[in-house]
Amino acid sequence: MSGPSAEFDECLATVTAHIQARHHGLSDIPTLPTPDAVQNTISQLPAALPTTGLGTKATTSYLMDTLLPGCLQAQNGPRYFGFVVGGTTEASQLAEILGGSYDENAHSTLPGVTASSAIEQRTLEMILDLLAIPRDVYGGRTLTTGATASNVLGLACARDHLYANSPHLPKGYSYAQEGPPSDVNIPGPPIVLLTLHPHFSLVKSAGLVGLGSGPRVVQTMPSAPGDELAFDLDALRDRLEAEKKIGRGVIVCYGMGEVNTGGFGRGLESVAKLSREYGAWLHVDAAFGGFAAVVPEFRHLTKGIDLADSLTLDGHKWLNVPYDCGIFFTRTSQSLLKVFAPPAASAPAYLSAGINSSSRTDRPSTEIIHELVPIPLYVNIENSRRFRALPLFASLLSLGQDGYADIVRRNVLFARKIATYISISSDYELLNSSASVSGASSEGKDAIVPLNIVLFRGSATSKFPPTDPTASARLAQTINDTRIMYVSGTKWRGQGSIRLAVSNWRTGGGGEEEFDVVRKVFEQVMQ
């Protein structure tokens, strides 16, 4: 086959009709496939690469009739409350399909040839607008595969910055180019990460960029008295002072939006001030919690989000764009170029645009000067990557500030409604009321949760009592087996518990009818 076939037209119509049906029926589609459906798909996988291909039509039918029925059916639906997965807004889903059709490799700035890198810049600027962060605060920006990749970028930038400023090394030492220094006076480990409740991806990233991921490197600091999500500032100051004395590099990692509770610690501004004072790099992981800033009444939770040296956000979570999409900001593009751009002399010749001109974008502007946009492959991991900005751009444009504020607000209110039910029910125990998780004021209403996550377990008098170590896992499984909604298990304060995260653009605002579907599941599993 070397050109378009009539099969394609027919398949496109079938696929479009299928997508359309899913789009309208998503609220009623069971969240999960049955175990039999999963097994059926696996048993019908081809044993090997066929010598003669099936062709477009048979393959498409096989995907729709045999493969996809064994995969998650409604992870982008309104009652998939596991992890924080979001969904796909209408405009982003359509843009994703269109983007695939164009298949542009957004790897280089090609002014006068393609607008894709300029579109990406504007997309990233609009994200800053959405979070009410002045654009000139974060001059270094790029799109990644997710918060994990953004954490990798943040730690890589931090690493190079700290080596370049190490008192034990020549000023400007480039770790990216020189590798680990052989100087024996450097303390071991040369860099530590000071954290509180770090997301696993951060630990993984620390290993990947060569800092080490063990407890000698990734260290948990004491939390503030009465606020387990906030750094104890005295302890942090003492520690920063001690590390400065021996000339060890420090990355302070601040989680904005704790993953089990959705809680926020107090004091990012103070942490930022201390970090600056002692020359530490402040990395903020705000994968989903940062989007509290979209809603004026929740914005106080993210106070200080503009003070990070590097900032991680996710597009494929609360922004509801298709997987995969992460967002990374740092103060200047130089930090990224120092890690990812080749020295000018060794730049690949087939990339004709010079890297010198591309290194100066750290200025506020309403107009994008395309020649000044950094070459995407010099500020990120991949050389080739898909046109990731397109679905995100489409979503931002279609919903605007108000549309996104509406999603965040509806999701949080829905989570609070569930939290209220849980806290009143004698069968359940709410574990993350604002009164029990630090950071937000409870205003006397215990049932209010910090953001969009409800953390709970069965009560002592229920069928799933906390005294039984398997209770929470069993309860989650029982809920998920209904296939009406999906939750995920976790551990909080060492105890098994269940997380319910509301992050889908369709969820909330549906009134009592929408809530009743969830309430009935909660009742049914306790009978």
Ligand X SMILES: *Cc1c(COP(=O)(O)O)cnc(C)c1O
List contacts with ligand X (CB under 6 A). 84, 146-148, 199, 201, 255, 259, 285, 287-288, 314, 326
For ligand X, the closer CB: 314 or 429: 314
The answer to whether the beta carbons of residues 406 and 442 sit under 8 Å apart is: no
Q: How far is the CB of 299 from ligand X (least distance, A)?
A: 18
CA nearest 262: which of 53, 508, 430, 67? 430
Q: How far is the CB of 84 from ligand X (least distance, A)?
A: 6
DSSP 435-446: TTSTTS--TT-T
Q: How far is the CB of 148 from ligand X (least distance, A)?
A: 3
Helix (H) / strand (E) containing 230: strand 227-231
DSSP 87: -
| Alpha-carbon distances, residue 33 vs 14, 29, 70, 503, 527 (angstroms) | 22, 10, 6, 21, 24
DSSP 357: G
For ligand X, the closer CB: 274 or 319: 319
Q: How far is the CB of 41 from ligand X (least distance, A)?
A: 24
For ligand X, the closer CB: 293 or 525: 293
The answer to whether the beta carbons of residues 348 and 108 sit under 8 Å apart is: no
For ligand X, the closer CB: 391 or 458: 391
Buried b (16+ CB within 10 A) or exposed e, 408-424: bbbbbebbbbbbbbbbe
Q: How far is the CB of 102 from ligand X (least distance, A)?
A: 25
For ligand X, the closer CB: 203 or 484: 203
Q: How far is the CB of 305 from ligand X (least distance, A)?
A: 13
Q: How far is the CB of 364 from ligand X (least distance, A)?
A: 28
Cα–Cα distance, 439 to 302 (Å, whole number): 11
For ligand X, the closer CB: 147 or 301: 147
Laid out side by side, the sheet with 326-330 consists of 140-144, 326-330, 310-314, 281-285, 249-255, 191-195, 218-220
For ligand X, the closer CB: 359 or 432: 432
CA nearest 228: which of 77, 475, 437? 437
Q: How far is the CB of 254 from ligand X (least distance, A)?
A: 11
The answer to whether the beta carbons of residues 405 and 295 sit under 8 Å apart is: yes
Q: Residue number with the shortest CB distance to ligand X?
A: 146
DSSP 65: I
Helix (H) / strand (E) containing 395: helix 389-424
For ligand X, the closer CB: 96 or 429: 96
Q: How far is the CB of 314 from ligand X (least distance, A)?
A: 5
For ligand X, the closer CB: 60 or 201: 201
